[in-house]
Structure 1
């Protein structure tokens, strides 16, 4: 899914529950939205409920990923031979034809096999082992093993693949050929301290910024590795550890000590020229959100919009905590993340003012790796069982009813119109949502 990450977990802190001030929209709009949501709940039992077009294997706790017309199931437990099972299925061109098994493979893993990507004819399996992150490449059509290397994979422009390790003190950033694993270029750095910029239409990074082994910052061309801009560490060094993020045309350098942010400095990405700095900011992380930088509070639970030119706070909304997706001037925001259950309280905000445009209620988010969406929410259908599926429409500021899935219990993943959900017995079902 397209996640606008507004906060790494630092120091195992948990945000305090968000206060619930008066909503920013007027009473007439609240009444209208309540009516829309009421009609949505009533409508949950009116569509023709369709059984799963196909039933897949799987077990409770399995990881499911829908990507590029394929469904991947990753077993949750290590088998007797010390490996984890991975199966791939192809979704059909039209509903009713069923899902076709593609391949089945066993991957040696003593850690958490939790990620799947596709690039250059290979499927990339991300394995969090005790010794560090490993990327395992298998043939996308057959499951045949191609290569394995240390590092977390990220797509690069020009058909390349960047591998980032998780050792923050030493290592190297590598660009490899996805099909063979051959190294194209490499750079020493403090791995785990890198960020990506200028992603193309397919989500591939055209530039990568990294903290060098000497403590400076470099911006490199993601395809060739050529240095585009560099910045030496300041006299006396940084105040603690350094984390970097790319937010639009800015690079944000965050100096941290024992989990607390001491200073955030903004540099122009093109030349790493200093734009502004904030001492002991109230937020712990900031990222691009249309015309503003969205910042999450370091302590507490509030969302703010910062002026990219000055770093000044344009607005603060104490009800919402993070941003899940951005579409133009609309933000899909999340609140009440510590409330019971897995569902998230969702709302649509205006990026320029932070004003709440709509409260969409509480939905389970269907996992998706498609940057452009669509994004779906699900919740139990109390009328007839199964799950109600809505599309989270930012432009219309509504949760639009798409389908009712009988026999579905949750843990859904989606890509385009394909959606896969766990069934009560632990297996998974596949549906194609109506156009």
Structure 2
């Protein structure tokens, strides 16, 4: 049984009063209502355990990578198997867990990650010694190889895929590929200091190349067409830029000592500059219409992208992630669980509180996040956190300790710390 908790939003500014305030119930009734809610929460998680069949065991090594795509659970050897010969990628049917196919990487390769593009499974691997990263596209239903390309995959906003192939000598190539056929669409040489991307909610929209002398090229991510070109002032040391980043519609460069300057991508007009923490002590990010400066230890500062004016700062947050028009912020909690809230990006005001959870490590930008909370008697509560709506929906209570889970609709797929996956049937 699934149960929904409506968190709602806090009053604007925390001080607004309703026009007519209803009478408050006696304290005894409040206590009884709270006890009743606690009982409902406990039953909502515990009752399904007595009626549902046991989970289905699926073989998986310790720290395995896994993904659910097109009705298949795909499992790959994880980082713990590097150097020990593990190179198998296996597709299992859901919800039964039966083996559907197996793909073997070349001898000496190991898996870097699993991802999806245009309904295909991408297996990214690397040789143990020298050699290029390789990405292999598989049909998730049959395991059939569709195509292969060298490089690490980067999805685009329009459903395409880019492959980065940097070289140790500073050279390299960026190649765009049609995911349906594997045919190359276009390619560009990479400058020595790498490439920056202007991203949308589903992937890269524009590719931004900045050379050491300040020449800037902005290309469409899917067609490769040159949209804009121009220059920014040379790097402060006269050699090369140590920092180039695209955030929203701005190019950020370290053109001055201890400051970062922002340039409009379309015309490369300088908008503003701000002081930055010591090198490596922070990073910028697009935060739902504002710009966040994350500090390495803790805390975040938020800036107006048009003027560079600081809108607010808060030392409580370990990190904030943009999800739709809100920010999901995390404060220290207990162990690996964090206190999660949603914020208004422009003001930093708390809109909803989710309580203490550990989030799944899959897609941190998804509107619905999978959260885990330890319960007494060696149990774990699994819930879906709907960030835009500010709601929590319970999915299951599992016995034991689990590294991570993936939501497969009518099943949860969870990984044991010691290895092995279990497919648990749940309500969709």
TM-score, L = length of structure 2? 0.77
**Alignment match, 2:117:** 119
Q: Which of 271, 274, 287 is the matching residue for 1:275? A: 271
In 2 relative to 1, CA 394–160 (structure 1 residues): closer, same or farther, beyond 3 Å? closer
Q: Does the 8 Å contact 2:82/2:110 carry over to 1?
A: no
Q: 1:301 aligns with which of 298, 305, 329?
A: 298
Alignment of 1:144 with 2:144, yes or no, is yes
Q: 1:84 aligns with which of 73, 87, 91?
A: 87
Q: Hey, what's the Cα distance between the residues in 1 that align with 2:315 and 2:131?
A: 37
CA deviation map 1:278-330 (0-9, x unaligned)? 244577322222232122125x41112111111121111101021234231x3
Deviates more, 1:149-158 or 1:43-52: 43-52
* Structure 2 residue 314 is matched with structure 1 residue 321: no
- Rounded to whole Å, the distance in 1 between the matches of 2:323 and 2:82 is 38
Give the drift of 1:58: 0.8
Displacement of 1:163: 0.7
Query: Against the structure 1 CA distance between its residues 138 and 225, is the aligned structure 2 distance closer, same or farther, given a 3 Å change threshold?
Result: closer
Residues 162, 343 of structure 1: alpha-carbon distance in 2 compared, 3 angstrom cutoff: same
CA pair 192-65 structure 1, distance change in 2 beyond 3 A: farther
Max Rg structure: 2
1:12-411 map, 5 Å: 42=42, 45-49=45-49, 50-76=52-78, 77-78=81-82, 82-91=85-94, 98-108=96-106, 110=108, 113-120=111-118, 122-129=120-127, 131=130, 134-140=133-139, 141-156=141-156, 159-167=159-167, 169-179=170-180, 181-190=182-191, 193-197=194-198, 199=200, 203-212=202-211, 216-235=215-234, 241-254=241-254, 262-280=258-276, 284-297=282-295, 300-328=297-325, 330-336=326-332, 341-369=335-363, 371-383=365-377, 385-406=378-399, 409-411=402-404
Instruction: Indicate conservation of the 8 Å contact 1:167/1:191, yes or no.
Output: no
Contact preservation (8 Å) 1:165, 1:191: no
Structure 2 counterpart SS, 1:48: helix
Closer, same or farther: CA 224–318 of 1 in aligned 2, 3 Å: same
Hey, what's the Cα distance between the residues in 1 that align with 2:391 and 2:198? 31
Contact 1:65 1:414 in 2 (8 A): no
Which residue among 402, 415, 420 is the counterpart of 1:427? Answer: 420
Task: Check whether the contact 2:59–2:421 (CA below 8 A) recurs between aligned residues.
Answer: yes
Report what 1:13 is aligned to: none
d(CA) in 2 for partners of 1:191 and 1:148?
25
2:9 alignment partner in structure 1? none
Contact 1:307/1:313 (<8 A) preserved: yes
Q: Which structure 2 residue ranges, 5 or more long, are not aligned?
A: 1-12, 16-29
Q: C-alpha separation between the residues in 2 aligned to 1:331 and 1:161?
A: 27
Counterpart Cα distance in 2 of 1:56 and 1:376: 21
Q: CA deviation at 1:237?
A: 6.0
Counterpart CA distance in 2 for 1:285 and 1:40 is 43
**1:214 deviation in Å?**
6.0
Displacement of 1:227 in angstroms is: 0.9
Any conservation in 1 of the 2:87–2:109 contact (CA below 8 Å)?
A: no
> CA separation in 2, counterparts of 1:236 and 1:425?
49
CA positional deviation for 1:207: 2.0
Segment drifting more, 311-320 vs 64-73: 64-73
Deviations, residues 202-222 of structure 1 (Å, cap 9, x unaligned): x14332223347653321011
Give the CA deviation at 1:100: 4.4
- 1:367–1:413: 8 Å Cα contact kept in structure 2? no
1:137–1:147 Cα contact (<8 Å) kept: yes
The alpha-carbon deviation at position 146 of structure 1 amounts to 4.5
Structure having greater relative contact order (Cα 8 Å, sep ≥ 6): 1
Structure 1 residue 165: deviation in Å? 2.9
Q: 2:6 maps to what in 1? A: none
Q: How many Å separate the matches in 2 of 1:228 and 1:420? A: 44
**1:158/1:323 CA distance change after superposition, 3 Å:** closer
Q: 1:170 to 1:313 in 2, by over 3 A?
A: same
Q: Kindly tell me: are residues 333 and 280 of structure 1, through their superposed partners in 2, closer, same or farther at Cα, counting changes over 3 Å?
A: closer
- CA offsets, 1:2-50, max 9 Å, x none? xxxxxxxxxxxxxxxxxxxxxx979xxxxx9xx7996786456444224
- What TM-score do the two structures reach when normalised by structure 1? 0.76
- Alpha-carbon distance, 1:262 to partner: 2.9
